[in-house]
Amino acid sequence: MATLAQHIDPAFMAAYDDVCRRYHDGTMTDADWQRWDRQRLAAVLRHVTERSPFYRRHLSTVDLGRVTPETLDRLPFTTKADLRREQHAVLSGDVGDASVYYETTGTTGPPTPCPRDAKEVVTSNVHVERAWRSMFGRYFGDRIPRVALMGPSELYAFGDTFGAVATDLGGFHAKIWPDSPRVGFAKALRLLRDLKLEVVVCAPALCLSLAKAALHHGYDLRRDFDVRLFLVLGEICTPEFAANVESIWGAPVHHTLYGSQEAHAIATGCAANRLHISRPNYLVEVVDPDSGTASGAGDGELCLTMLVDGAKPLIRYRTGDLVSVRHGDCGCGLCGPLVEVTGRVGDEMQLGGARFRPADIETAVLGAVNGCLGYQVQVDQGADGDDRLTVRLDLLPGTGSHEQLRARVRDRLGVPTDVRVDAELDPITNMGALVSWKAARIQDNRHEPAREVRIARAAAANFDYTT
């Protein structure tokens, strides 16, 4: 990080370090934040209109001199469709000006370039490092644990971000990609055991896939591994899902980061298992997905304006994520508005005439279950035209009450429900972070499969383990 910092304008770095120091010690006043937000917004708007062909066109009809953090709604939104269509034209400069190149996975559309320069890497990672220091302090005291990084692909920032943070903390880490054909689950489990790795950083679904693979290969999860903590990111993880994973592994599950290739480390986890937005880096809006009306907090779609003028700052970027943003102190010692991610806008669904977010469904299914190695919800239309659910569960022996679960789901979602134990779940259930929660967890027989479902099913055979 020190080497990267040498490539950043010293005046910016000094100002940023000062804001972060005062932010973390609680001495930033409202006037300080107003000054920072206005200065950084003006700098970013100048930057993108001078250096990004897309934003030069996109913002050409707006009098940018009259735009302030309080009047962001004078600016048009930036959408994922814009990024996919415009590709390198969104960048503020040539891709070679950046320090490192990443891109989105491209599983549901054309991959988009996401290069980062030194300024973006440093200002993103500093919040991850602070969060890890706090988290590790709670679980490991003064020592830094051994960390296993289990990310999606080498073109993702995952490995570099967490690898750099682990190194800066003075700890040991191993980059182990179970999804990689050169690693696979058998080797990943052997390394997890032999290296005595204590913290696993991965997507929530992988916590269960890893357990299934371990049982398939004859491991005892509590006896053969030293895992004491899972740090998760990449998809929703409800408290019920976390409690279920802990019932299997005997290790707690905490959010570690909420972010994306395009928007970096939007929020980082804390010892109270909440997510705090990296406040110096963003202006946050919560948008009604239907009307586009924005507010500074509440429930809706997260919209971000980035305040770091790097390789690809985004203006009023609609993330497509459903969130709940709240201001206040959660008591963990870290600062920043709290954000809870409840799913993707496109993953909401109608059941029995009501609208449900992914988190609502997962909470209903896993609230009365422990020892669940995987689940899938099948939606059918009965002869009377009403919706009906079948919840399929892969359960460890002697866990769960079918009747209790059936009643819970029926009461929470308001539709007739059946429950079946099935050790041969569709392998698509392992694909959550790689495609979408809905494609992985919902089999909706009321409609033809969506494109992302077909993509997920085609790739899912590589992730199939049974117990």
DSSP symbols for 398-429: T---HHHHHHHHHHHH-S-EEEEE-SS--GGG
Residue 303 contacts by C-beta under 8 Å, 6 or more apart in sequence? 77, 284, 285, 286, 287, 294, 316, 317, 318, 319
Under a CB-based contact definition with an 8 Å cutoff, are residues 322 and 346 in contact? no
Residues 100 and 136 in one domain: yes
Domain that residue 412 falls in: 348-463
| Cα–Cα distance measured from residue 338 to residue 466, given in angstroms and rounded to the nearest whole number | 38
| Plot region of 381 (φ>0 → left; ψ -120 to 50 → alpha; else → beta) | beta
Residues 164 and 260 in one domain: yes
Residues 286 and 366 in one domain: no
Residues 109 and 179 in one domain: yes
| Plot region of 335 (φ>0 → left; ψ -120 to 50 → alpha; else → beta) | beta
- For the domain that residue 409 is a member of, what is the CATH number? 3.30.300.30
Residues 230 and 168 in one domain: yes
H or E stretch covering 340: strand 338-344
Under a CB-based contact definition with an 8 Å cutoff, are residues 257 and 130 in contact? no
As to burial, measured by CB atoms within 10 angstroms (0-12 exposed, 13-18 middle, 19+ buried), residue 73 is middle
Secondary structure of residue 295 in the 3-state scheme: strand
| Cα–Cα distance measured from residue 415 to residue 378, given in angstroms and rounded to the nearest whole number | 12
pLDDT of the residue at 467? 45
Residues 354 and 331 in one domain: no
pTM of the predicted model, to two decimals? 0.92
* Domain boundary pick from 307, 328, 344: 344
Residues 320 and 361 in one domain: no
Residues 318 and 397 in one domain: no
pLDDT of the residue at 455? 61
DSSP class per residue in 30-65 = HHHHHHHHHHHHHHHHHHHHHH-HHHHHHTTTS-GG
Taking each continuous run of H as one helix and of E as one strand, the counts in the chain are 15, 19
* Residues in the chain where the model's pLDDT stays below 50: 466-467
> For the chain, what is the domain count?
2
The token pair at 326 is 């709240």
Positive/negative CA dihedral, 139, 141, 145, 150 = positive
The token pair at 203 is 């997507």
| Cα–Cα distance measured from residue 284 to residue 324, given in angstroms and rounded to the nearest whole number | 12
pLDDT of the residue at 283? 97
Residues 69 and 125 in one domain: yes
- For the domain that residue 327 is a member of, what is the CATH number? 3.40.50.12780
Residues 391 and 416 in one domain: yes
Residues 276 and 131 in one domain: yes
* Domain boundary pick from 329, 344, 359: 344
Positive/negative CA dihedral, 205, 208, 212, 218 = positive
| Plot region of 353 (φ>0 → left; ψ -120 to 50 → alpha; else → beta) | left
Cβ atoms within 10 Å of 366's Cβ, excluding its own:
24
Contacts within 8 Å (CB) and 24+ apart, 395-404: 395/369, 395/371, 395/421, 396/248, 396/371, 396/372, 396/467, 398/371, 399/247, 399/369, 399/370, 399/371, 399/372, 400/368, 400/369, 400/370, 400/371, 400/372, 401/368, 404/368
Residues 382 and 323 in one domain: no
* Domain boundary pick from 298, 316, 344: 344
